[in-house]
Amino acid sequence: MIIYVVKKGDSVYSISQKFNVSSEKIVKDNVITEPDNLVVGQALVISINSFPYQVRAGESLYSISKKYGLTLDDLIKANPEIVSPSQIFPGETVIIPLSFNQLGRMLVNGYAFPNIKNDILEKTLPYLTYLSLFGYQVNPDGTLSEINDTNQITAARDQNVAPIMVVTNINMDGGFDGEIPNEIFSSEEIQQSLINNIIEILQSKNYSGVDIDFEYLYPSDRENYNNFLRSLKSQLEPLGYSLTTALAPKVSADQQGILYEAHDYKSQGEIVDRIMLMTYEWGYTYGPPLAVSPINSVRQVLDYAVTEIPPEKILMGIPNYGYDWTLPYKPGTMAQTISNVGAVDLARQVGSFIQYDEKSQAPYFYYYDKNGKQHIVWFEDARSIDAKLRLVNEYGLGGVSYWTINRFFPQNWLVQESLYSTEKILE
């Protein structure tokens, strides 16, 4: 696999000729809706094992090998017809082999809403270890809302993907509410009722485990939350169910803010089986324009996280979406969510070219709407996904967790598959 960035004058046909791959495959792998109108700066995944390269003046096999991250021996082995490796000439064709030495195996979680389309779910499940269905809303009395998840659980198990029940403290208005867990933590009776209700659903619906996603907790509930998780873990473990939690992206133990203070990395790293680390939303709906998951910020979180949590327990969060902001940004105004495929389509429609920010390792573009207002769009592409996925190997993490898989983004899975094999925990 190679990631190719579209240049001015490129067409699907010219790229297909360059890499000796069919135009149809390029279009399918990258969901190109208008093959005759590529976007300059657009990243394309080219699924090939090798490609021909025409030697330029001044180049040697050594310089070409360095250009493509190969050893000289690898390049020589791929070109046995070259009699004298020390003598190649401009215009000569050299075969560039693409390394398919994967970085290893990893765990892959995908959060999904129950309304995910069946075809999208079926296409995505082969790349997942866990399917986390979002979500059961907890009430102050320990009861849980009901969701229609039976078909998704069956589909997951049919493809050896472990279905995970997600429990959240989202209230009836749709926002995370710290008052709900505060009331639950104040009563051992209510806590046990909640645990009983979780176990009943796990058993009746054939889930493999539960993910507790409690956010915006009162800072005073930090240890109460830890104790609840200890009690939950002690009752789930004998029954064979796993316990995971979703944690806010902290950079230090004493980080201030209601999103962070009750999330105890060290304690939860000791208690639970897996941590879903929410390394996204630096750029968010009501915030200023930023990359959603800038790699420099993700690194800061991981640098801290691996000092408190066993790295193999961490599943690093990756967003499957972007945002469209109106400029100039005014605090309190709302950005519009956009899919990664939709972002490229929008750039095409408005005649923009896509840029790539090296610091955040993320693509973006500007455009003007019909009212003359300027916009900026930050999203994810094959390059940004590749950069994030390589952090798993670098930090020795257990794997990744996508929010969410409701929109199908084939580039993501092609890049993932080229770097790692997906671990399946169900037989």
> Which residues are designated catalytic?
215
Tracing tokens 């926002």 back to the chain, one arrives at: 175
The C-alpha atoms of residue 321 and residue 362 are separated, in whole angstroms, by 12
The C-alpha atoms of residue 48 and residue 101 are separated, in whole angstroms, by 14
Query: The tokens of 245 are what?
Result: 């939690």
- Closest of 266, 274, 282 to residue 384, by C-alpha: 282
CA-to-CA separations, 277 to 25, 151, 245, in angstroms, rounded: 34, 27, 8
The C-alpha atoms of residue 318 and residue 399 are separated, in whole angstroms, by 11
Q: Report cis status (omega within 30 of 0) of the bond before 244.
A: no
Burial string for 243-265 (b: 16+ CB within 10 Å, else e) reads bbbbbbbbeeeeeeeebbbbbbb
Query: The tokens of 142 are what?
Result: 């320990």
246 φ/ψ angles, rounded to the nearest 5 degrees: -100, 125
- Closest of 115, 207, 212, 213 to residue 161, by C-alpha: 207
